[in-house]
Amino acid sequence: MDAVSASFAELHRWMIWCQTMPTREAMLTFLQEDEAEFDADQRWGYSIFECASGELVGSAGLRRASVIDTDALEIGYWVRSDRTKRGYASTAARSLVDAGFTCVPNIRKIRIRMDAANAASVAVPRKLGFKFLGEVKREVVTEGHSGLGALWEIERRAHDA
């Protein structure tokens, strides 16, 4: 709750789930659902803890891209606003790429998608060597959204190389 409320302005700008400050009950329900999805091998959500302070400073997760794309996973992330630009999101995303290709059977590609105007988020896959696949029109649902989504992908072959 502390990390989300300290980051509300930034999360509100980009994340659908943060259009109002989530209540403690809503967060608890989300974490319980996340745990169930983890056990069902559908979504693997993690909290990011800062080594020096031990504080929770964000969250990152892997999930199946879709029921049709059975060989693809997607990564999502957010980092507490007063801890950004320290490499936390890219470190978490790099670990999830390694975990996805190593631990989930038959995965050939891992994607990250975001709003095309979200420069901080775009910088993460670019830094990790993902390939830019292009932009697609999409619904505007938060105040930061531009109406264009950007899609990035890394293939197993490129990762292994």
Ligand X SMILES: CC(C)(COP(=O)(O)OP(=O)(O)OC[C@H]1O[C@@H](n2cnc3c(N)ncnc32)[C@H](O)[C@@H]1OP(=O)(O)O)[C@@H](O)C(=O)NCCC(=O)NCCS
User: Which residues make up the interface to ligand X (CB under 6 A)?
Assistant: 10-11, 14-15, 77-79, 84-90, 114, 118-121, 123-124, 127
Give the nearer residue to ligand X in terms of CB position, either 64 or 113.
113
Specify the residue for token string 């095309």: 116
Residue of 112, 111, 110, 115 whose CA lies nearest to 138: 115
Q: How far apart are CA 72 and CA 130, in angstroms?
A: 14
> How are beta strands 109-115 and 131-137 bridged, if at all?
unpaired
Q: How far is the CB of 105 from ligand X (least distance, A)?
A: 26
- 124, 93 Cβ separation under 8 angstroms: yes
CB of residue 125 to ligand X, shortest distance in Å: 9
Cβ 32 to ligand X, closest distance in Å? 22
Give me the residue whose beta carbon is nearest to ligand X.
Answer: 123
Measured from the CB atom, is 85 or 137 closer to ligand X? Answer: 85
- Identity of the residue, 2 or 40, whose beta carbon is nearer to ligand X in the bound complex: 2
CB 41, min distance to ligand X, A: 23
DSSP 81: G
CB of 1 to ligand X, least distance (A): 16
CB-wise, 105 or 127, nearer to ligand X? 127
**Nearer residue to ligand X within complex by CB, 44 or 77:** 77
C-alpha span between 57 and 86 (Å, rounded):
11
Q: Helix (H, G, I), strand (E, B), or coil: what is residue 107?
A: coil
Which DSSP state fits 145?
-
Q: What are phi and psi of 72, to 5 degrees?
A: -125, 145
